[in-house]
Amino acid sequence: MTQNKNQDKRRKYSAPVVDGIGKSASRAMLRAVGFTDEDFRKPQIGIASTWSNLTPCNMHINQLAEASAAGADEAGGKSLIFNTITVSDGIANGTEGMKYSLVSREVIADSIETVAGCEGFDGLVAIGGCDKNMPGCMMGLARLNRPSVFVYGGTIMPGENHTDIISVFEAVGAYARGDLDLIEVKQIEETAIPGPGSCGGMYTANTMASAIEAMGMSLPGSSAQNAVSDTKAADCRGAGAAVLNLLEKDIKPGDIMTREAFENAITVVIALGGSTNAVLHLLAMASTVGVDLGLEDFVEIGKRVPVLADLRPSGHYMMSELVAIGGIQPLMKMLLDRGLLHGDCLTVTGQTLAENLADVAPYPEGQAIIHAFDNPIKADSHLRILFGNLAPTGAVAKITGKEGTRFTGRARVFHSEEEAQERILDGTVVAGDVLVIRYEGPRGGPGMREMLSPTSAIMGKGLGSDVALITDGRFSGGSHGFVVGHITPEAAEGGPIALVEDGDTITIDAVSNRIELGVSDGELERRRQAWQAPVPRFTRGVLAKYARTVSSASRGAITDLP
């Protein structure tokens, strides 16, 4: 089989798999899945689908994958759809199963790399819906560094009475407080999740989708579309076609995911009031693509970028309501005009960010979701990177200011999320407590579970302004309150959080960005000498492998550091 030079250039990876007499067996296999003679002369485009019927976030993605495949085929490629996994944080939260959530990010990246690397795809479209899908897809694309586009599966619509998944979690706490009865909780449970799409606030899914669009790795508008909509279907078809354009121009993720692109992503996440998980995932994505990014970069960018979006969990509105007024494109235009974005960054359209935003219309008059620069929700970042004797290598907090900016209280120590949850619901936890949930870090959990159940119980019990919670685990994008996660070094590595005792004084200051344990250095050293590392609970399987290879949360909790 022979090809012209243009086809050869676009078929760098597929040609060695299917060209020539020696690859007759390969072609025979592909004929069985629908290839024709003409198809072998086309660039092969892998469509990585995270479809699964186990969560509303991903239940519709099979249709989106088919639309992306059609777009690639119409543009002159030959598409092949393959699946990777998904898990549901909303289902697993508060259980042992949640240990697998962050682990799934690595499995997704590994599986996309594995399939595309083996099969010789020339370009890729990756479609993600639930939280870990997005960074997992992006890490897989970055490792391969072949022309690629990411597609977000889209946001869910609000439930009855403006409810969402966090409404259900907080209803449990409200029941424990006596504010709701069982029938009322069941009514919220039955109506809060009306259909397909990712959780409806500026939680981790919508945060990461927005970050990826700001980075230039998805088509303009992809992050702010309803899951079931004509615009989302068009986005998918456009993504398939865009990969062929990227192949022609030889534009790869490494050309787009630059240091400046990550700064753009961080800026948009802050302006939107996004999830603390963005810190973890952006660090991981940057490491994968070889960009030097650290916790201090979030500090520096946060000094000049305000929070402008009044979105849940700390605000009032849902992503679908932001979609209705134009999504994040007008916000990005505002930030660009203010000098807060790098407009010369390349994107998957083949144009720069500034070129993509040139004709974007402003938000409609009278909208209340996105504030003006002279009336911000918060004048600087809500993502606070804290250091101190309790977190020598850093911790991450989400403090909007509504919770206050400083908290001092007495430690109440728990060795698991479940233990803390029980004590919150039974009334043991009281005003003035700083809950310390430890041995939930990447290595110690293992898996760095989200503390959504405890934080939701705190809010539901009406203690949101009266207690703080710190952990070497992490938080759902739906968590709010005075909470600090990603404390490093983690307890399982003998970090200071392992040495805290009940009754110790802990001070969290989100202005000076400090987190301090009121214990002398001498006493801490005495405790350190007496501390013993816990025996690993998991010795075989994916959790054991993860615990042996995972890096610190301060470096993104990745498993393939060189």
Q: Mark the binding-site residues for [2Fe-2S] cluster, compressed into ranges.
A: 57
Residue in the structure block whose two tokens are 């615009």: 231
Alpha helices (runs of H) in 350-484, residue ranges in sequence order: 353-357, 417-425, 452-460
Give CA–CA dist 222/382, Å, rounded: 25
Tell me how far apart the terminal alpha carbons of the chain are, to the nearest angstrom. 40
Q: Which parts are annotated binding residues?
A: 57, 89, 131-132, 450
Starting at the edge strand that comes first in sequence, how are the strands of the sheet with 123-128 ordered? 78-83, 44-49, 123-128, 148-152
Q: In angstroms, what CA-CA distances link 161 with 115, 176, 201?
A: 43, 21, 15
- Provide the annotated binding site for Mg(2+): 89, 131-132, 450
User: What is the number of other CB atoms lying within 10 angstroms of the CB of residue 522?
Assistant: 8
DSSP state string for 451-484 = -HHHHHHHHHTT-TTT-EEEESSB--TT--SEEE
Distance CA 166, CA 470 (A): 20
Minimal CA–CA distance to 313: which of 450, 128, 504, 137? 450
Structure tokens at 259: 């240091």
User: CB atoms < 10 A from the CB of 299, how many?
Assistant: 17
Active site residue 476: yes
Angle at 273 between CA 466 and CA 497, to 5 degrees: 50
Strand partners, 517: 506
State how far the alpha carbon of 234 is from the alpha carbons of 71, 218, 229, 329, in Å. Answer: 9, 13, 9, 17
23: left (phi over 0), alpha (psi -120 to 50) or beta: alpha
The dihedral through the CA atoms of 116, 119, 120, 126 has a sign that is negative
Tokens at 152, concatenated = 């977000």
* All residues at 6 or more sequence positions from 428 whose CB lies less than 8 Å from its CB, including other chains: 412
**Residue of 476, 479, 552, 554 marked catalytic:** 476
Helix axes 277-289, 133-144, angle to 10 degrees: 10
Amino acid present at 503: G
Residues catalogued as catalytic: 476
